[in-house]
Amino acid sequence: MSQIDPIAEALMDEGAPFEVVEQDVRGKRLRVFKNAPVTLTDAIDQARSHGDAEFIVSGDQRLTFNQFFAASDRFAAELVNGHGLRPGESVAICMKNSAEWMISFVAILKAGGVAVLVNSRGTGETLCQAIADTDCVLVLADKKRADMISRKEGCGLPIILAADIDKNPAPKDAPVVARKADDHAAMFFTSGTTGFAKAAVTSHRALVTGTMNTQMAMMTVFMKMAAAYNIDVETLKSQLPQSCALLIFPLFHTSGCSSVFLSTLINGGKLVLMERWSGEDAMRLIEQERITILGGVPATLWDILHSKERETYDLSSLMSISNGGQAFPRNLLMSLCETFPNAYIGAGYGMTETSGSVSQAVGEALLARPKASGIILPMVDIRIVNEDSQDLETGATGEIWVKGAILMTEYYGRPEDTANAFVGEWFKTGDVGYLDEDGYIYIVDRKTDMVISGGENIYCVEVEAALTQHPDVLQVCTFGVPDDRLGEILIACFVPTDRSLTAEALEAFAKEELASYHVPKHFVRIDRPFKLNAMSKIEKSKVRERYLRGEYGLAR
């Protein structure tokens, strides 16, 4: 176990709210919260006590907790009674962020099903592939996605349109379906190197542990605030407004689903949705809804900081601002601290397979080590290992391995990928980093060839596979370079078979073949073939270095 904050340690002691014990979990000895709800549905049901408090704001649509649970209960009953959903069967959610998405998620779990969170930004082909790979029996989709799915052959599952969810006002009894802590709850997709995404199966226990990790971190902050004001925590809470989060992350991401949606729901907060990202709209909503929690990727936070209209909005309600999806650029961190001196600034490190965060740092802890990706959470164990899987000493750089009740169960239908991802109870993240003597973790590289741009994971091999389908492409090499706004941007350097293929023409081809966020930001034509190493592979690091030195000239 890594070093633990004394306040967090007290919260985990015997008899404390987050008491921790060791248990056997699927044959592994792990630390778990003793008094945790058995299933995610049990955890969600605690939020019913918030009654008529406002929960969701989406344009003109406003739902209280009572209205939200009434709708999810009715739909759960419809899934069981009207569509014959049986415990453990998978249902795909294929929609943009919406109240209907969240109603669907809670209803699927209430009905005993497994929620498959399909990347709604994908192509029709990738949507259908994800649905087929996870053995779904039913699809819940908005009209745009339903049309994309319907146009593809072999994707003939029943589809319920988002607009038709909860159309029947007649009250129905919600089903009572017994599930266990280690039963499958949801599947999140993570990009793979084989051309299609893998579905990471997450158990009820993993999602409950992830949300409780967030609750414990919040309680730690409350206790530190209370100590600073010399009052008790309950008095502090009574003086604070209802927490209100702006949902920027897509709900099919762990950040959007677990860190924002589920945490806000279980804690009785309010959630404000946006139709599409706009810094101007975000500031308007912050002022209008008195938003207290803002989490986003660097691009979204920079948009607000750089807006010429920022001074015309009242953004004083913001109490917590966090960066997710990639490293926190130091210039962004300093700008946020200067612009919002009364807000707690936070960051962390996590991934789809870990049900959210592995490390977090807020306020002074973050400022003390701005280059770090936070302090390892108390319920997580970390190893840093070398190429021979031997543990390295503090400060030495190696691959990061993770252990804990937050880990995924498996990659669905991919036993070889699952076996390759684990060594006993340890999950091999594929990320390279090191730990310091105070328990801070630093991410320095990725073993997997992936670019994170605007919070989206882009695997270079998928993009390269698509671009090499163009008949006039001889070689292609993609990589990420730093970008203040998006964290990284994807660059494609290509060698044509003849000089007639332009960068513009290949970009147009890419837009036809790839989802929009997979299309490289810049295309660079190179008229000499790339040099190959002894394994007959392009030496990507050298191509990237030459690009950064300007040896290939400007993109275009």
State the CB neighbour count (10 A cutoff) for residue 138: 20
CA angle at 354 for the pair 255 and 44, rounded to the nearest 5°: 60
State the CB neighbour count (10 A cutoff) for residue 477: 23
Distance CA 471, CA 464 (A): 13
Residue of 249, 247, 206 whose CA lies nearest to 25: 206
Q: Which residue has the higher pLDDT, 381 or 458?
A: 381
Percent of the chain with pLDDT over 70: 94
Residue of 56, 77, 51, 45 whose CA lies nearest to 66: 51
The residue type of 264 is: T
Collect contacts of 477-480 with beta carbons under 8 A, ≥24 apart.
477/530, 477/538, 477/540, 477/543, 478/451, 478/520, 479/451, 479/540, 479/543, 479/544, 479/547, 480/451, 480/452, 480/453
230 and 219 Cβ atoms separated by less than 8 Å: no
Work out the pLDDT band at 425, boundaries 50, 70, 90.
very high
Q: Which residue has the higher pLDDT, 68 or 232?
A: 68
Distance CA 365, CA 56 (A): 32
Range with the lowest mean pLDDT among 32-36, 100-104, 294-298? Answer: 294-298
pLDDT in tens, 484-524: 888 899 999 999 987 789 999 999 999 998 988 899 999 99
Q: Residue 244 pairs with which residues in a beta bridge?
A: 270
pLDDT at 26 over 60: yes
Q: Where does 268-421 show beta strands of DSSP type E?
A: 270-273, 293-296, 320-323, 344-351, 356-362, 375-376, 381-385, 398-403, 410-411
Positive/negative CA dihedral, 503, 127, 248, 443: negative
Q: What mean pLDDT do residues 147-162 have? A: 87
Helix (H, G, I), strand (E, B) or coil at 143: helix
pLDDT in tens, 296-341: 888 789 899 989 999 999 999 999 999 875 567 777 888 999 999 9
Listed in sequence order, the DSSP H helices in 488-530 are 503-513
DSSP classification of residue 16: S
Residue 194 is predicted with a pLDDT of 40
DSSP per-residue letters across 47-75: GGGGTTSEEEEETTEEEEHHHHHHHHHHH
Residue 326 is predicted with a pLDDT of 59
State the CB neighbour count (10 A cutoff) for residue 502: 14
* Topology annotation, domain 65-202: Rossmann fold (3.40.50)
Q: What mean pLDDT do residues 540-555 have? A: 82
Domains of the chain, residue spans:
65-202, 458-548
* Topology annotation, domain 458-548: GMP Synthetase; Chain A, domain 3 (3.30.300)
User: What's this model's pTM, rounded to 2 decimal places?
Assistant: 0.85
